[in-house]
Structures are given as C-alpha cells and as structure tokens.
Structure 1
Amino acid sequence: MDAATVTSPRLTDLRARYQGLSGQALLEVMIRHEFAGKIAVVSSFGAESAVLLHMVAEIDPTTPVIFLNTGKLFGETLRYRDRLQERLGLTDIRAAGPHPADLMARDPNGTLWNADPDACCFVRKVLPLERALKGFEASITGRKRFQTSARTGMDPIEEEAVRGTGEPGSATGTRFKLNPLAYWGQEELERYTDANRLPRHPLVKDGYLSIGCMPCTERVPEGGSYRDGRWVGRDKDECGIHLPLNTGGDGI
C-alpha cells in the first residue's frame, strides 16, 4: 500500500463532497468536522510554513503541530518556530526527534547525511514522524504541486499507508493526508503572507528558498529554481516523509 494506490470508500466520499475546496475552507471542515480531535499539522517551520500555520491557528490554535527537530536544523529555524508560536498563538507544538537508540545504531558520528542522505532522513525524519502521528487519523501538510516532480499530481485529499516503525517498507494501516495548499503557487503564498503581515523565515532574504537541515541546504543562485538548494549534487529532492513505502532505499 502507498499514497498512490490506497483508495477507500471514505476517501472517495471525502473527495466527492469537498471537491474544489482548498486553503482555509478545506481546513475548516477537516479540523472541525471530519477529523475533529484526530488531526495534526506537520510543519518544518520553513520558508512558507507561516501561511498554513496561520490558517490553522485561525480555525483552532489548539490543533497539534508536529515539528521534526532532526538535530541538524538551522538555529534560525528554531528561533522562527518560537516567533511563529508567539505570533499565531499556537498552543500545542510537539517537537519530534530521532530516538537515541536509532542514532547510536545508524548515525553514531552524526555524519550519515554525507554518506547516505536517504538513510539519514529515514532515521531523523521518517521514523520520528511516524511515531509522532500514532493515534491520529489524518495529517495536514503544506505541500504544493509546484515544489517537486513527485508532487505535480498531488490531490488535496489523499490516503496513505501508515509506516511501521520496525522493518523499512512495512505498513500497518492507512491515514488520511490533507494538502490544502496543493494548487497554490508562489504568487498566492506571497499575497497571503503580505495581507496577513506574517513574519518570514530569516534565511529567505539570504537566498535560501527551501529550507531543511543545515548540512543539506544551500543558497539558491539568482535565477535558480525553488528546490535547487536542497541536496545539491544528489539525485534527491524529497526527504521521504511524503513518499510511498516502495520507492527504494530505507523505505523512503
């Protein structure tokens, strides 16, 4: 099972009933009605995170926000998280990080990002997120179709296999995934940010257009595309938390 093949009667029903909804309108029905008390936001507190988080806070600021603290983030990202929490009034930000036993077994020296970035993402992002989402029926992401080739066909409402936290590639059920900004582009994001006077990630003005972990994120040269600063020189443009279970590597 993976996000490309999982299709249940409920998914078909949700897509039929809410076809055409996006942004805050889609979030409203999902947070307040369809998955009330069983939904969480997944946020990197990166370059565009303020838009989604502001929408969620306007609906229900107590909605859990899962923040993947990989141990390799920019200090600016951590400070930006704190600033947004204060500005938006978010009351339940949950930091999820790699388990010490996983790091000891797979990345004892902290250099796995250089030798095998897919494995590093699996230990520091994929496994911690699956543990953090246990018990939730749905997650909310800030993904957009324009970001990567893997996201160009993304639907605002998806259903994905729930990853097991044991053997890579294992699945234990399904969970819904909501992408309310799927059809948004850079212009819409900029307009929303300006209209609501949202603070911007401090690294954006320095040329970081997509911001992840410090060792694997670089400035984008003038005229470069959105993801050119991520995993430079690698055949990689996704960390793995949004990819199907069967895409190779360590289940990522």
Structure 2
Amino acid sequence: MNVMREEDILTGGSMSLEEATDRVASLMSRYGNLQGAALIEPMVHEEFNGKITMTSSFGTEAAALLALVAEVDANLPIIFLDTRKLFGETHTYREQLVDQLGLTNIKIMRPDENKLKADDPDGMLFASDVAKCCYLRKVEPLQRALTGYDAWLTGRKRFHGGERDALPAIETAGTRIKINPLAGYKPEDIDDIFEHRALPRHPLQAEGFLSIGCMPCTDRVDPGTTDVRAGRWAGQDKTECGIHYII
C-alpha cells in the first residue's frame, strides 16, 4: 500500500467558480441519471483522469463505495482524515478493507500539529467549541489534501436525511466538483453490495453504532433507530462536520 505523506501531495490550481458551475451543468446533462460504478467509471477515466480523488471515513457504510471504486481503479487516491480522535476499531477496519479490496493509494491526512498545540493543547476543544474542533481536525486537513484535484467522490446518500435529502449526483464544491455515486441508493442497496462482495462490517456496528466519526462525538443509538446519523453530535444543533462546505 502506498501511503502518501503530506509533502508528497499534488499541488496546482483548480477551476474558477463559474467554470465549476458550467462544468456541473454539462456533466449532469450527460451523467446525471447514472449512479454507482456507472457514474464512477467515466468520472475517473474520462472526465477527471488524474485530477480526481475520493474521501472515505472507513465507517459503517464506507466499504460499499470503496468496493465500487476498487473495481473501477484500485489506485485511485483515497483521502482518509485521521483526526487523532478516531476509534481504534476504525483504523483496524481501514487496514482490513485496504487489504481485502486491494486499494493501493491511501492518503492519510492529519491535523496540523502546531495548530493543535495553539488551539487545542489539552485535546478537549470538542467540549467547548465543537465546530472549531471539526475545522482543525477535519476541514483544514482536507483542504490541504484536495490541492491539485478538480473533483472528488463522496459516499453521501439521500436516505441519511437532513441536508442530504435532495443530494444531487454531481454538484459544485466551491471551485471543485463533487460526485456522489451513491446519492440515490437505499439502505437495501448498500446491504446488497456488502452481501454480494462479502464485505466485512465495521466492528462497532454490532455494538449499536450506525454512523461512526470521532470518539467524543459519536454515540450508540437505540435498537430500531432509523436515523442513520442520530448518534453523531447527539443532543447538539449539529449534523455535519463541515468538510462538505469547504471551497
């Protein structure tokens, strides 16, 4: 497995806001009715060849998109944000999936140590300013990781609800383009991918975790809970970490 260092990450510019908006309109007219591997393949090999990456949390549903991507191009760069607050089980699961799927280009991005020392010296920022904690540990590292790319694949889905209800297959992300191959998938579609490809489940899923992020902000949910993200920032007026708002 090729785990790239931050200093090895590609540099370069991306599109203007106007160019990104026009490109999305063009792509939606040609590919907007596609999903899954049928959408991934032309994005990776034709439209953004060499200029596209993928983000993955290696959470409870992550293996579904990772498996589809691996079948299209196992060397596609995959960004994994190691916030320094993740469950140990997530790291173990990542290694398991990388080996099983033959993924060869994992880019592990971590928070800037100097910024952590300045703004979160005791590692407890999540308790006083959860938005800033997410920014330091996820948003800013992803901004660095996306340098040099014009597009990125995400595993977001409409059935997660909230701000994802009307998620398009292709959208602008500031000066980049975001592709959501699983936007229209249902829970049973995700289950089918796991079953037909014999994919392992995240070890914490059996313990009641439906969506898994950082340890301090991820909780178990009651049996029968249908809101997939109910355990994320439970009891707070927050449903997203912020990485899908970056420009």
Q: TM-score, normalising length from structure 1?
A: 0.88
Please list the CA deviations of residues 29-82 of structure 1 after superposition, one character each: whole Å capped at 9, or x if unmatched.
001110011111100000000000001110110000000000000000000000
Higher helix residue share: 2
Deviation, 1:6, is: 8.8
1:223 and 2:236 are equivalent in the alignment = no
Letter of the aligned partner of 1:61 in structure 2? A
Name the SS for the 2:107 alignment partner: strand
Deviation, 1:153, is: 1.3
Name the SS for the 1:242 alignment partner: helix
Deviation, 1:223, is: 2.2
Name the SS for the 1:67 alignment partner: strand
Deviation, 1:188, is: 0.7
Moved over 4 A (4+): none
Within the candidate set 53, 59, 62, 2:75 is matched to 62
Letter of the aligned partner of 2:229 in structure 1? R
**1:1-252, aligned counterparts within 5 Å?**
8-161=21-174, 174-224=175-225, 225-243=227-245
Letter of the aligned partner of 1:213 in structure 2? C
Letter of the aligned partner of 2:238 in structure 1? K
Letter of the aligned partner of 1:191 in structure 2? D
CA contact (8 A) 2:173 2:244 kept: no
Letter of the aligned partner of 2:244 in structure 1? H
C-alpha RMSD over aligned residues:
1.5
CA contact (8 A) 1:6 1:160 kept: no
The gaps in structure 2 that reach 5 residues or longer are 1-17
Q: Give distance in 1, aligned partners of 2:188 and 2:143.
A: 32
The gaps in structure 1 that reach 5 residues or longer are 162-173, 246-252
Map of 2:3 onto structure 1: none
Q: Give distance in 1, aligned partners of 2:202 and 2:19.
A: 35
Q: Give distance in 2, aligned partners of 1:139 and 1:195.
A: 26
- Residues 154 and 244 of structure 1: CA distance in aligned 2, closer, same or farther (over 3 Å): farther
Q: Give distance in 2, aligned partners of 1:8 and 1:201.
A: 36
Q: Give distance in 1, aligned partners of 2:32 and 2:217.
A: 37
- Residues 184 and 23 of structure 1: CA distance in aligned 2, closer, same or farther (over 3 Å): same
Q: Give distance in 2, aligned partners of 1:75 and 1:187.
A: 28
Q: Give distance in 1, aligned partners of 2:242 and 2:185.
A: 22
Please list the CA deviations of residues 155-194 of structure 1 after superposition, one character each: whole Å capped at 9, or x if unmatched.
1101111xxxxxxxxxxxx001000000111111001110
Q: Give distance in 1, aligned partners of 2:156 and 2:86.
A: 19
Q: Give distance in 1, aligned partners of 2:21 and 2:134.
A: 29
- Residues 86 and 244 of structure 1: CA distance in aligned 2, closer, same or farther (over 3 Å): closer
CA contact (8 A) 2:169 2:183 kept: yes
Name the SS for the 1:8 alignment partner: helix
Letter of the aligned partner of 1:199 in structure 2? P
Q: Give distance in 1, aligned partners of 2:245 and 2:149.
A: 19
CA contact (8 A) 1:6 1:159 kept: no
Q: Give distance in 2, aligned partners of 1:145 and 1:242.
A: 14
Deviation, 1:228, is: 1.4
- Residues 241 and 6 of structure 1: CA distance in aligned 2, closer, same or farther (over 3 Å): farther
CA contact (8 A) 2:32 2:170 kept: no
Q: Give distance in 1, aligned partners of 2:59 and 2:32.
A: 28
Identity between Structure 1 and Structure 2 (%): 50
Deviation, 1:114, is: 1.0
Please list the CA deviations of residues 1-47 of structure 1 after superposition, one character each: whole Å capped at 9, or x if unmatched.
xxxx9962211110001121000100000011100111111000000
